[in-house]
Amino acid sequence: MPDSRSSRSAAGVATIAPSPGQAALHPPVAVATRTAKTLALLERPIGSTLARLAVPNILAMLVTAAGGIAEAAYAGMLGVEALAGLALVFPFVMLTQMLSGGSIGGAISAAIARALGKGDMGRAERLMLHVVVISIVAAMASAILFSLFGRGLLELLGGRGQVLAAAAAYAGVFFPGCIAIWLCNSTLCIVRGTGDMAAPSTVLFAVTLSAIPLSGALALGWGVFPAFGMAGLAAGLVIPYGLGAVTALGYIAAGRIGLGWSGAWSRLEGALFRDILGVGLTASVSSLQTVLTVIVMVGLVGQFGEGALAGYGIGARLEFLMIPIVFGIGAAMTAMVGANIGAGQHERALAVAWTGSLAAATIVGAIGITFAVFPDLWLGGFLNAADAAALDAGRLYFRIVAPFYAFFALGLALYFASQGAGRVLWPVIAGLLRLAIAVGGGFLLTHWLDVGLAGVLVAVAAGMAAFGATTAAAIRLTRWR
């Protein structure tokens, strides 16, 4: 229930004012700023508000995508074996990003937004401590699991010799250091839940701008830095995220979002863990499905040789980099939908979902069509004419899969919106359908019908189409009821 700090505006929208005991802990300017941001989510025109919130996210995510491109380029400079090794470990790295910033992260933003939409500032503050606990536990679990099973899993996916060594070297630094990723992303999701998209975007922008040169320096030995190879590539990513985590935690401590850590320090509550994890764990299934799809596809592609694996890995990297672009819009939708659901404005929440999701599908679809027609615009940044097998595989990927990126974006954007509503079951079911079609179809076409690499890619494309169409149809019919 909202505490004594809740009231209703003339329009019937929840507003938030601190109790006398909290007034000294939350400066009036910070409280007014937080209230204004929440009211914007609830009352202002959907299109312009969503655009205003999404633009900083998209810009930051584009820079993040540039960081991913630079990382692959550095790996290419280390050799085709290093590039293939990065393709092996990349799905697991992206899973960490997707869970911390997307699945669990989106549930964090949604929980904060719903609490503020109801006018319950005290609950929003108490949720923050639970976010930190979840992040630390998740990071420790990732590090332990990969230390125990990571190398065997990489071998199972076809990693051998120098390719396996490259993947293991990267993972050996990234996963012990992934607590930096978790704390940075999850804390920024707290900030997004208040309707503040500019500060998280600024932090991620700075993190990536730092990571691009640092990764190159540590991997290739620029200037005074020694060349650490793949281990340096991972360190160049982890270190800036650690600095980003410190910055994000300090931003909240300075009172810039109108919520304070002083109100967060209370006993841990099962209800608050459930508020985050009830949605977050279910949503995580969707992230696991996305990564598992790529992992299995990597295994299927690996049977066609090192060149095919490298080419597919470069293509799949662009597919993964579409996720941050959709996230730029999706994070804004999560906050807007969450706040409106919390305030009881169900129809407005649905309108936000469709507006943002169709925009995401249009943007990503245009990117997909561009690279389907001109695949060498992407491939030429990583490969040269001597890498004929990898080039052929990459071109085939883009011509078959890239035209279906719009379906992938539509389903993923609606998934982010569903997080805000606390209703992620149908996106997860659609993800299962995608996984079944991609894996089952890929196996059927390559092992039974002997179609070759093209069969794997057709199955990937069909899975994307099913994911987007099923998610959209389900939300259209159920309306999150």
Q: What is the pLDDT of residues 356-373, one digit of tens each?
A: 999 999 999 999 999 999
Secondary structure class of 58 (helix, strand, coil): helix
Structural domain boundaries enclosing 472:
49-478
Q: How far apart are CA 88 and CA 65, in angstroms?
A: 19
The predicted structure's pLDDT at residue 471: 96
Condensed to tens digits (0 to 9), the pLDDT of residues 285-342 reads: 877 877 777 778 777 887 787 788 788 888 887 887 787 778 889 888 988 998 899 8
Return the minimum-mean-pLDDT range out of 94-98, 246-250, 382-386. 382-386
- Model confidence band, residue 244 (pLDDT cutoffs 50, 70, 90): very high
Rounded to the nearest angstrom, the gap between the alpha carbon of residue 77 and the centroid of all alpha carbons in its chain is 27
- Cβ atoms < 10 Å from Cβ of 94: 22
Does residue 228 form part of some domain? Answer: yes
Least confident of 21-25, 112-116, 294-298: 21-25
Q: Which of 329, 396, 267, 302 is nearest to 87 (CA)?
A: 302
pLDDT of residue 69: 82
Helix, strand, or coil (residue 375): coil
Contacts with 223 (C-beta within 8 Å, 6 or more apart), sequence order: 217
The answer as to whether 249 is a domain residue is: yes
**Could you tell me if 419 and 279 are in contact, meaning their C-beta atoms sit under 8 angstroms apart?**
yes
- Above 80 in pLDDT, residue 22? no
Residue 7: inside a domain, yes or no? no
pLDDT, mean of residues 378-389: 81
The rounded mean pLDDT for the chain is 86
CA distance 249 to 184: 8
Host H or E run for residue 399 = helix 388-401
In degrees and rounded to multiples of 5, residue 395 shows phi and psi of -65, -40
**H/E segment holding residue 255:** none
DSSP letters for 78-133? H-HHHHHHHHHHHHHHHHHHHIIIIIHHHHHHHHHHHHHHHT-HHHHHHHHHHHHH
Token pair 């995580």: residue:
284
Closest CA relative to residue 205, chosen from 358, 55, 387: 55
Asked whether 41 and 117 are in contact (CB, 8 A), the reply is: yes
Residue 9 has pLDDT above 60, yes or no: no
Minimum mean pLDDT range among 125-139, 178-192, 265-279: 265-279
Number of separate domains in the chain: 1
Predicted local confidence at residue 274, as pLDDT: 93
Residue 149: which residues within 8 A CB-CB, separation 6 or more? none
Quick check: 28 pLDDT over 80?
Answer: no
**463 within some domain:** yes
210 confidence band (pLDDT: 50, 70, 90): very high
Burial 314-328 (b: 16+ CB within 10 A, else e): bbbbbbbbbbbbbbb
Torsional class of 353: left (φ above 0), alpha (ψ -120 to 50), beta (otherwise): alpha
Q: Is the pLDDT of residue 20 over 70?
A: no
What is the pLDDT, as a whole number, of residue 80?
83
Supply the pLDDT for residue 15: 44
Contact 406, 471 (CB under 8 A): no
Residue type, position 466, single letter:
A
Task: Give the span between the Cα atoms of 190 and 260, in whole angstroms.
Answer: 11
Residue 91: band (very low, low, confident or very high) from pLDDT cuts 50, 70, 90:
confident
How far is residue 98's CA from residue 102's CA, in Å, rounded to a whole number? 5
pLDDT tens digit string along 418-466?
988 988 889 999 989 998 998 899 888 887 887 888 888 999 999 999 9
Q: Which residues contact 441 (CB under 8 A, 6 or more apart)?
A: 455, 458, 459, 462, 463
Q: Over range 22-31, report the average pLDDT.
A: 48
285 or 182, greater pLDDT: 182
Whole-structure pTM value? 0.76
In 3D space, the residue among 313, 251, 405 whose CA is nearest the CA of residue 81 turns out to be 313
Task: Name residue 14's beta-bridge partners.
Answer: 8
Q: Is residue 26 part of a domain?
A: no
| CA 350 – CA 353 distance, rounded (Å) | 5
Instruction: Say if 29 falls within a structural domain.
Output: no
- pLDDT class of 35 with cuts at 50, 70, 90: low
In a domain? residue 244: yes
Residue 20 within any structural domain of the chain = no
pLDDT band at 23, cuts 50/70/90?
Answer: very low
Instruction: Judge whether residue 229 has pLDDT over 90.
Output: yes
Q: Which residues contact 389 (CB under 8 A, 6 or more apart)?
A: 305, 306, 307, 308, 310, 311
Radius of gyration of the chain (CA): 22
